[in-house]
Amino acid sequence: MKNTPLTEKHIALGAKMAEFAGYNMPISYSTITEEHNAVRQAVGVFDVSHMGEFIVRGKEATAFLQAATSNDVSKLKPGEIQYSCMPNKKGGIVDDLLVYRLDDAPEMTVAGEESYMLVVNASNEIKDWRWLKRIARGFQVKMTNISAKTGLIAIQGPKTIEALKKLTDIDLGSIKYYNFRRGKFAGCKNVIVSATGYTGSGGFEIYARNRDIAKIWDKVFKAGAKHGIKPAGLGARDTLRLEMGYCLYGNDINDKTSPLEAGLGWITKLNKASDFPSKDKFLKQKAEGVKRRLVGFTLATERRVPRHDYEIESPRGAKIGIVTSGTHSPTLDMPIGMGYVKTKYAEPGSKIMIVVGGKKLEAVVCKVPFVEPGV
């Protein structure tokens, strides 16, 4: 099991540790609800150094990524970020990822080249690397895996800017959603500060060298002390992302789910000129309609939490789908979940039944996010 550059920090803080994606990761430090509420109301800090980072550069870097990802990379300008996915050849998803346009980085780009950073899920790092290397054949690109030397923390919550502004000369308030800036942060050079978020409560991600990330962690907590800053583990990260209806790879999307089924048609640009894996399949799905959809649902009259792989039935007892994610929402104080159901049951307001052992729990399909961003 691997450690992140911050593992010793977590242990010293008394975190409950467990294996996740091959890493020894903090699940919680106090309680999931307390850490969740800290992010919603003040500031929480996550260690996400387990994520994978690849640098792609070359004269055909854009063309290569157009052929590998579903979104339209050509729309990105230096300093911008794009959420996307890498479809496989069978209509599923190899991984979802973030694409950073890095042409502003002289040390990563030479004349005539384009450069990007891809941020992928930790559990898929090796799989993604091999997949991209296969697609890269025939393109003038060079790929570098910088995952092992890159530290990453996510600082989330409505008081983040106030807590961090004295640590950097970057104007944090000027960083738009899905944009990034590069500069000095907490005394460390060449740090990337981005605003993508996975919680719906605002904040930033800090990418730095492994040898710098512990120093940054300490200075962030010192600066945020008067703002109620708390460390947050993967447990709260999951409840926060689920309240926003964000997909988690391995639960809500995988190599057998279509991005159109998962509500990710907005990152699947079927009108871009470049071909990418399964584009023809997705065009057919769009024309004919998908047979199932990923939906959100609530169990307002129940306290039992829906779990991954629980069956979903119609009110008359027909099997219509399966739960992919579920939790107790700290913000709403009720069980919430997501799952795939047959399209006829995907309309908000539709009643469905979650099968828990020998019991069937009534749930109602609803729009996501479950809570408004910023709450």
SS3 category, 295: strand
What average pLDDT does this structure show over 46-74?
Answer: 98
pLDDT at 105 over 90: no
pLDDT at 337 over 90: yes
What average pLDDT does this structure show over 298-303?
Answer: 90
Report the DSSP beta bridge partners of residue 249: 253
* Average pLDDT of the chain to the nearest whole number: 96
Confidence category of residue 302, pLDDT binned at 50, 70, 90 = confident
Q: What is the number of helices (H) and of strands (E) in the chain? A: 8, 19
Q: Identify the CATH homologous superfamily for domain 7-48+149-243.
A: Probable tRNA modification gtpase trme; domain 1 (3.30.1360.120)
Q: Within its chain, how far is the Cα of 337 from the centroid? A: 17
pLDDT at 374: 78
pLDDT at 108: 47
Please check whether residue 366 is in contact with residue 296, taking contact to mean a CB–CB distance below 8 angstroms: yes
Please check whether residue 320 is in contact with residue 312, taking contact to mean a CB–CB distance below 8 angstroms: yes
Length of the chain, in residues: 375
pLDDT at 103: 78
Q: Do domains 7-48+149-243 and 291-366 have the same CATH topology?
A: no
List the chain domain ranges. Answer: 7-48+149-243, 291-366
CATH code of domain 291-366: 2.40.30.110
CA–CA dist 230, 235 (Å, integer)? 14
Please check whether residue 25 is in contact with residue 211, taking contact to mean a CB–CB distance below 8 angstroms: no
What average pLDDT does this structure show over 196-214?
Answer: 97
pTM for the full predicted model: 0.96
Cis peptide preceding 330, ω within 30 of 0? no
| Count of C-beta atoms within a 10 Å radius of residue 199 | 24
Closest CA to 283 of 272, 296, 292, 297: 272
256 or 357, higher pLDDT = 256
**310-334 pLDDT per residue, tens:** 999 999 999 999 999 999 999 999 9
CA–CA dist 317, 324 (Å, integer)? 19
